[in-house]
Amino acid sequence: MINAALVGIDFGKVDFEASLAELDLLSRSAGADPVVAVTGRRGSPDAAMFVGSGKAQEIKDAIALHRVDLVIFNHALSPAQQRNLERFLERRVVDRTSLILDIFAQRAKSHEGKLQVELAQLQYLATRLVRAWSHLERQKGGIGLRGPGETQLETDRRLLGERVKSLKVRLDKLRRQHATQRRARKRSDTFSISLVGYTNAGKSTLFNALTKAQAYAADQLFATLDTTSRRVYLGEVGQVVLSDTVGFIRELPHQLVAAFRATLEETVHADLLLHVVDASSAVRQEQIDQVNTVLTEIGADGIPQILVWNKIDAAPELLADGPRIERDESGNVTRVFVSARDGIGLDLLRAAIAETIARPATALQSSGQSPNHLPAESGVGFHTAGNL
């Protein structure tokens, strides 16, 4: 395992402690061992090295003291900042985006997932190709070096561009196949439900509990990358298709939002979203907001949604009231409190889903308020533009 130093700078915009704890989990999920954390406060990033010269020296001292091999920043770094930091620290430096991409590369299992990860990585690498040829800058004036260096860089860019184009073509083909499958489900009037939520909220555990499937579930970030779908029988309303999807996270790299569009389209075309929330998290409302932001980006903000507050077994203040269903003023289900791991409240959740499916579309469209008009931690009721 690689010893890593974590670097987090507080700009006063997010819950800093929660963000740093998340970086620690991300680092461990990638296979690193965070042995030291260096933090600081700034009004804005430094153009050259993201941190000031004094903080950079503090990081360098910590590297020497703790024998660190890798420095992980809890922020997105520009190519120039990353290059300057690596020169100064004499260690490999990765930013938050690169770290998440690395985890995705480790976890992708399906053919489609691997294609999506490779596309995202290549798009990220395209802005950083020059780093591979930084050694030429230390040999300025070297006869015969400048031309080949530039030629090789141009060759790398051309080959990378061709690979990106090829990946996009293959992913477009897979997207069309998914569209054909969805049309077949629509023709058979099969109701489609997607599990969405912040990473490690317990979506896969809930999916397994509801479907008796054996999807991979673990207490780690991004345990699930590939969409898995199963049919579930819900009594009077018959069979539905339930899909488990990739988890969302704060500052999800734009490359991943674009590259995983084919996978996320399962969410876009669902009839109902079960938004799974880690009820034990101290920043659960912020996580809810992050998920809703990504849902808006991918065009899924108009789909009816039920909040599933999971892990109540780890939240004593919620467990005391037991599993339950909460409704809005119109009687529509807004929140269901469960523990997927312990099987608490799953019957209530099934009943809530069945009730929602049976409810006329006009009632869904006229019920509830949009997320922006709900009080804090009230959860998201049914959106006004439901497509049931």
Predicted confidence (pLDDT) per residue in 233-249, tens digit: 888 888 898 988 877 77
Residue 172 forms part of a structural domain: no
For residues 24 and 151, state if they share a domain: no
Residue 123 forms part of a structural domain: yes
Question: Is 225 annotated as belonging to a binding site?
Answer: yes
Q: Which range, of 85-99, 127-141, 188-202, 208-222, averages the lowest pLDDT?
A: 127-141
Sign of CA dihedral 209, 281, 378, 229: negative
Most confident of 10-14, 105-109, 131-135: 10-14
Burial class (CB in 10 A: 0-12, 13-18, 19+), 231: exposed
| Radius of gyration for the alpha carbons in the chain, expressed in angstroms and rounded | 23
Q: Give the residues across from 326 on adjacent strands.
A: 335
For residues 211 and 351, state if they share a domain: yes
- Per-residue pLDDT band for 219 (boundaries 50, 70, 90) equals low
DSSP letter for each residue of 153-208: HHHHHHHHHHHHHHHHHHHHHHHHHHHHHHHHHHHTT-EEEEEEEBTTSSHHHHHH
Question: Is 46 annotated as belonging to a binding site?
Answer: no
Q: Say if residue 122's pLDDT is above 80.
A: yes
**DSSP character for 84?**
H
As a whole number of angstroms, the distance between CA 223 and CA 216 comes to 7
For residues 293 and 358, state if they share a domain: yes
Please state the pTM of the whole predicted model. 0.73
* Percentage with pLDDT > 90 across the chain: 38
SS3 of 216-243: CCCCCCCCCCCCEEEEEECHHHCEEEEE
Question: Is 247 annotated as belonging to a binding site?
Answer: yes
Work out the mean pLDDT of the chain and round it to a whole number: 80
- Per-residue pLDDT band for 186 (boundaries 50, 70, 90) equals low
Question: Is 246 annotated as belonging to a binding site?
Answer: yes
For residues 136 and 42, state if they share a domain: no
For residues 145 and 45, state if they share a domain: no
Question: Is 216 annotated as belonging to a binding site?
Answer: no
pLDDT (average), residues 45-50: 95
For residues 252 and 337, state if they share a domain: yes
Q: Say if residue 124's pLDDT is above 90.
A: no
134 contacts 121 by C-beta, under 8 angstroms: no
Predicted confidence (pLDDT) per residue in 332-368, tens digit: 999 999 999 999 999 999 999 999 998 754 444 444 3
For residues 324 and 231, state if they share a domain: yes
Could you tell me which residues come within 8 angstroms of residue 340 by beta carbon, excluding any fewer than 6 positions away?
Answer: 202, 205, 206, 208, 209, 310, 311, 346
Q: Which helix (H) or strand (E) holds 134?
A: none
For residues 140 and 230, state if they share a domain: no
Residue 29 forms part of a structural domain: yes
Question: Is 260 annotated as belonging to a binding site?
Answer: no
304 contacts 196 by C-beta, under 8 angstroms: no
> Residue 135 has what pLDDT?
45
As a whole number of angstroms, the distance between CA 64 and CA 12 comes to 29
As a whole number of angstroms, the distance between CA 83 and CA 43 comes to 22
For residues 152 and 207, state if they share a domain: no
Burial of 176-205, coded b for 16+ CB within 10 Å and e otherwise, reads eebeeebeeeeeeeebbbbbbbbbbbbbbb
pLDDT (average), residues 35-39: 96
Q: Which range, of 218-232, 340-354, 366-380, averages the lowest pLDDT?
A: 366-380
Segments forming the whole domain that contains residue 111 = 106-167
Sign of CA dihedral 121, 124, 127, 132: negative
Question: Is 55 annotated as belonging to a binding site?
Answer: no
Q: Say if residue 168's pLDDT is above 90.
A: no
> Residue 280 has what pLDDT?
92
Angle among Cα 184, 187, 191 to the nearest 5 degrees reads: 90
- Per-residue pLDDT band for 282 (boundaries 50, 70, 90) equals confident
Q: Say if residue 91's pLDDT is above 90.
A: yes
Residue 20 forms part of a structural domain: yes
Question: Is 303 annotated as belonging to a binding site?
Answer: no
- Per-residue pLDDT band for 108 (boundaries 50, 70, 90) equals confident
For residues 156 and 120, state if they share a domain: yes
Our count of domains for the chain comes to 3
**Alpha carbon of 125 to those of 49, 154, 164, 200, 255: distances in Å?**
19, 14, 11, 27, 11
Could you tell me which residues come within 8 angstroms of residue 31 by beta carbon, excluding any fewer than 6 positions away?
Answer: 1, 2, 106
Q: Say if residue 372's pLDDT is above 50.
A: no
Question: Is 202 annotated as belonging to a binding site?
Answer: yes
Question: Is 203 annotated as belonging to a binding site?
Answer: yes
Q: Say if residue 223's pLDDT is above 60.
A: no
> Residue 44 has what pLDDT?
93
Question: Is 10 annotated as belonging to a binding site?
Answer: no
Could you tell me which residues come within 8 angstroms of residue 212 by beta carbon, excluding any fewer than 6 positions away?
Answer: none
pLDDT (average), residues 132-138: 45
Domain of residue 215, CATH code: 3.40.50.300
> Residue 155 has what pLDDT?
73
Compute the half-sphere exposure of residue 297: CA atoms within 13 Å on the CB side of its CA: 18
For residues 81 and 202, state if they share a domain: no
Question: Is 226 annotated as belonging to a binding site?
Answer: yes
Mark which of 167, 195, 219 sits at the end of a domain.
Answer: 167
Burial class (CB in 10 A: 0-12, 13-18, 19+), 228: buried
> Residue 305 has what pLDDT?
93
Domain of residue 6, CATH code: 3.40.50.11060
- The larger pLDDT score, comparing residue 66 to residue 227, is at 66
Q: Which range, of 104-108, 115-119, 223-227, 374-378, averages the lowest pLDDT?
A: 374-378
Question: Is 144 annotated as belonging to a binding site?
Answer: no
Question: Is 311 annotated as belonging to a binding site?
Answer: yes
- Per-residue pLDDT band for 110 (boundaries 50, 70, 90) equals confident
For residues 211 and 233, state if they share a domain: yes
> Residue 213 has what pLDDT?
66
> Residue 161 has what pLDDT?
84
Q: At what angle do helices 111-125 and 261-268 cross, to 10 degrees?
A: 120
